[in-house]
């Protein structure tokens, strides 16, 4: 039987995730992937998880394997209060909702807030997974201008001044895909603008703990608490396969996020949340995080040094102080997707940047480079190969 005709209109809007398609090539033997966006397996605290598993079973017994409230496992939400306070966010336990990764929150946000034709304002470029979560609910996207310091506040003000924006979606720190971070002065301006227009902003913050240099910058949530849904995750500092994300949201929105989550999965894994609770409260995260940072910092430095050494002068790239990505921009007219297939022939993969834009035709000359998976020597060699491919085309 042919089932295509049974698909809902909404389902037909769910484009194949291009990054996953690209990753198919990446699994070919010998391929060096600068394309992925996933943590290095060496960053996972496997021995700690072994220890935590025993602790969780002793401490919580059957409660760790039972159905649990949709809002999240009590001891985990309690420890998140402290964890968030360290990020300058004051939230009561009742204000925190646990989800299956930050992606789980993004999906719920789409379901709760977006009606067909609503306007959602996003950075250009933006996180593809957020577009995947929102698009089935048929919003129209409004493009927010960015530069090397991320969102340009006047662009936000102009968009909000025109009216009709349902919400703004931002990744203010070590953005995926650009690696850019909005500096504090801009954050203050953005906070003032969203307060002035009484706008709702979704702050997606998966990367701020992965800081290799410089000092932490206050979250937008801490600057405009009543206007911001703050989303974060343990995917980059514990293990993404455990699927542990969480959010702090204004009360009306939080109430509906809980209701839609009930329909989605009742609650996120109790056992995994118990592991997470012990990971943070037992001081394991604080002890393990420096080793993740020490793993990624030299990789990032190796990539920046290789870009300086090999890339042509008509390219610019971001110099993030943390996170997992560097964004490179070539001269207008260069097509990074055509170059992608040439690079793949030489066993190097990246993500052509155009996929991170909502406006067709934008970003053809851009690329996203990830440095978490390869070792320093391989990073140097593959950036050299990419530079040769680029030079052969220009």
Ligand X SMILES: Cc1ncc(COP(=O)(O)O)c(C=O)c1O
Which residue, 240 or 353, has its beta carbon nearer to ligand X? Answer: 240
Which residue, 334 or 349, has its beta carbon nearer to ligand X? Answer: 349
Which single residue is written with the structure tokens 């698909």?
A: 7
Closest contact distance (angstroms) between CB of 101 and ligand X is: 2
What's 94-143 look like in SS3? HHEEEECHHHHHHHHHHHHHCCCCCEEEEECCCCHHHHHHHHHHCCEEEE
Closest contact distance (angstroms) between CB of 342 and ligand X is: 27
Closest contact distance (angstroms) between CB of 102 and ligand X is: 4
Which residue, 75 or 240, has its beta carbon nearer to ligand X? Answer: 240
Shortest Cβ contact with ligand X: which residue? 101
Can you give the binding site for ligand X, defined by CB under 6 A?
37, 101-103, 127, 129, 171, 176, 204, 206, 233, 235, 240, 245
Closest contact distance (angstroms) between CB of 378 and ligand X is: 22
Which residue, 95 or 204, has its beta carbon nearer to ligand X? Answer: 204
Q: Are 257 and 108 in contact (CB under 8 A)?
A: yes
Closest contact distance (angstroms) between CB of 326 and ligand X is: 14
Which residue, 245 or 352, has its beta carbon nearer to ligand X? Answer: 245
- DSSP 3-state assignment of 66? coil
- DSSP 3-state assignment of 233? strand
Q: Are 242 and 214 in contact (CB under 8 A)?
A: no
Which residue, 315 or 357, has its beta carbon nearer to ligand X? Answer: 357
Q: Are 348 and 388 in contact (CB under 8 A)?
A: no
Closest contact distance (angstroms) between CB of 127 and ligand X is: 4
Closest contact distance (angstroms) between CB of 272 and ligand X is: 12
Q: Which long-range contacts (CB under 8 A, 24 or more apart) does 59-63 make?
A: 59/274, 59/278, 60/274, 63/270, 63/274
Cα–Cα nearest to 278, from 81, 73, 61, 75:
75
Give the angle 386-387-393 at the CA atoms, nearest 5°: 95
Region label for 214, one of left (φ > 0), alpha (ψ between -120 and 50) or beta (otherwise): left
Cα–Cα nearest to 134, from 115, 112, 107:
107
Which residue, 232 or 382, has its beta carbon nearer to ligand X? Answer: 232
Round to whole Å and give the CA distance between 151 and 140.
19
């Amino acid at each position: 039987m042919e089932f295509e005709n049974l698909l809902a209109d909404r389902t037909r809007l769910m484009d194949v995730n291009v990054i996953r398609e690209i990753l198919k090539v990446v699994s070919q033997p010998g391929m060096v992937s600068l394309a992925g966006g996933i943590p290095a397996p060496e960053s996972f605290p496997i021995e700690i998880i072994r220890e935590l598993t025993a602790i969780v079973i002793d401490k919580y017994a059957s409660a760790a394997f039972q159905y649990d409230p949709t809002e999240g496992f009590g001891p985990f939400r309690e420890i998140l209060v402290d964890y968030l306070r360290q990020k300058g966010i004051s939230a009561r336990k009742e204000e925190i909702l646990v989800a299956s990764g930050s992606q789980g929150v993004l999906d719920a946000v789409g379901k709760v807030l977006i009606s067909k034709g609503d306007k959602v304002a996003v950075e250009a470029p933006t996180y593809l997974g957020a577009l995947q979560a929102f698009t089935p609910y048929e919003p129209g996207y409004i493009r927010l201008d960015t530069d090397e310091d991320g969102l340009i506040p006047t662009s936000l003000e102009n968009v909000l001044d025109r009216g009709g924006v349902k919400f703004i979606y931002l990744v203010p720190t070590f953005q995926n895909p650009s690696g850019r971070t909005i500096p504090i002065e801009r954050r203050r301006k953005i906070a003032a603008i969203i307060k002035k227009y009484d706008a709702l902003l979704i702050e997606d913050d998966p990367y701020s703990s992965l800081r290799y240099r410089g000092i932490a910058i206050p979250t937008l949530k801490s600057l405009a608490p009543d206007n911001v849904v703050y989303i974060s995750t343990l995917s980059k500092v514990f293990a993404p396969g455990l699927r542990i994300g969480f959010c702090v949201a204004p009360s009306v929105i939080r109430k509906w996020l809980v209701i839609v989550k009930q329909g989605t999965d009742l609650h996120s894994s109790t056992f995994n949340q118990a592991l997470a609770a012990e990971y943070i409260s037992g001081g394991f995260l604080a002890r393990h995080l420096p080793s993740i940072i020490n793993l990624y910092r030299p990789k990032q430095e190796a990539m920046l040094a290789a870009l300086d050494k090999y890339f042509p002068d008509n390219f610019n790239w971001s110099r993030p102080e943390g996170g997992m990505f560097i964004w490179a921009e070539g001269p207008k007219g260069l097509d990074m997707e055509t170059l992608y297939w040439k690079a793949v022939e030489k066993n190097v993969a990246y993500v052509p940047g155009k996929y991170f834009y909502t406006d067709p035709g934008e970003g053809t000359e851009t690329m996203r480079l990830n440095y978490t998976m390869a070792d320093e020597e391989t990073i140097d060699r593959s950036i050299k190969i990419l530079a040769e491919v680029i030079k052969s085309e220009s």
